[in-house]
Amino acid sequence: MTTLFDVPAPATATTTIFCGQCGTHPFSIGPDGAAHCPCGHTITTADLVLDPGEEWCVRPDQTLGYLTAPETALTRYREALDLLNDHGVYGEDRKRANEEFTAALADLTTARLMGVRLPKGPGGAPAEIGRVFLACVLTPVGEYEGSNAFWLGRPCVTCAPYSLDPYYQELHPCRNPRTHAWGQVATWGHVAAWERRTGRAPRGHTVFSPVASDIDAAREQAGRRFNSLRVADALDGTLDAATDRVRRTQLPAIPDSALKALADIRVTLRRNPAQGAPLELITAFEDTCEEYRVIAAGERTTCHAHRQLTGDCCPA
């Protein structure tokens, strides 16, 4: 199986701006928003003179750089995409279209990861740019188990012309990662149906599409997200039991504050699960509530002895 193209790393799509006074050091962005060189020279972005079709950016190491302007890259991206979707284009012409599509996509992805605004509205940049689409498998309790990744521009057999001989099947840049991910989830539906028929607890399947620089980073985000939602679901039962007990008793101020903190954590986890679950705080607040008999040991979300989720160490 051959591949007609190489995917450029996003880091190669930016160019560092070096100081014109010393010619040695790159400019670093300071807290004041200005660009400083170790030699003492300072400039602002207004002092930059870039070529048409270029735009300045701040690289991950806080150095000043420039890249292809998103508007210019998007024009190249659209033109190459039209050629790839034309089944009458093949051979060397299709190879050049693949290369142009991949290069333009690398410029757009880099711009998004660097925080440069992409064109929006009709005819704007596709929402898939910069996102990794993960077809995720969740355990019966909602824990992230694994995923298949689909990424715009990555080698894809589905988006390449079909070959009757597998030896000559090519890989072309992926153009429909969202469709591929949801198609994968639909294919896994028969597995969940079989698990239900055989009396097993069915696993969950869904699509998660974070903005990420690579697939490993996207999978880390997925793990934090689904673990946070699992903790939030577990907190539902703990807070429900405590709320019912509070209605029948006069609650001291200390556990009352702990319960309010747990409720705030649950809301935060549901709004922004990618930040991860603060298990240490949850455990400490539940220790306080259990000490004042607001919740019972069996109603806790976390385990007092092992300091982690009860489902992970002390299953019922």
Contact 131, 211 (CB under 8 A): yes
CA distances from 287 to 188, 262, 301 (A): 41, 12, 11
Q: How far apart, in whole angstroms, are the C-alpha atoms of residue 305 and residue 313?
A: 9
pLDDT digit string, tens, across residues 257-310:
888 899 899 899 888 888 788 888 889 888 888 888 888 888 888 888 888 888
Q: Please spell the DSSP secondary structure of 228-266, one letter per residue.
A: HHHHHHHHHHHHHHHHHHHHHSPPPHHHHHHHHHHHHHH
Does position 8 have pLDDT exceeding 80, yes or no? no
pLDDT at 189: 86
Average pLDDT over residues 128-148: 91
pLDDT digit string, tens, across residues 91-110:
788 888 888 888 898 889 88
Burial of 129 (0-12, 13-18, 19+ CB in 10 A): buried
Determine the residue type at 30. Answer: G
Share of the chain above pLDDT 70, in %: 94
Mean pLDDT of the chain: 85
pLDDT digit string, tens, across residues 141-150:
888 999 999 9
Does position 7 have pLDDT exceeding 60, yes or no? no
Does position 249 have pLDDT exceeding 50, yes or no? yes
**240 vs 2 pLDDT, higher one:** 240
Pick from 50, 15, 49, 22: nearest CA to 36: 22
Q: DSSP letter for 173, please.
A: E
pLDDT at 141: 85
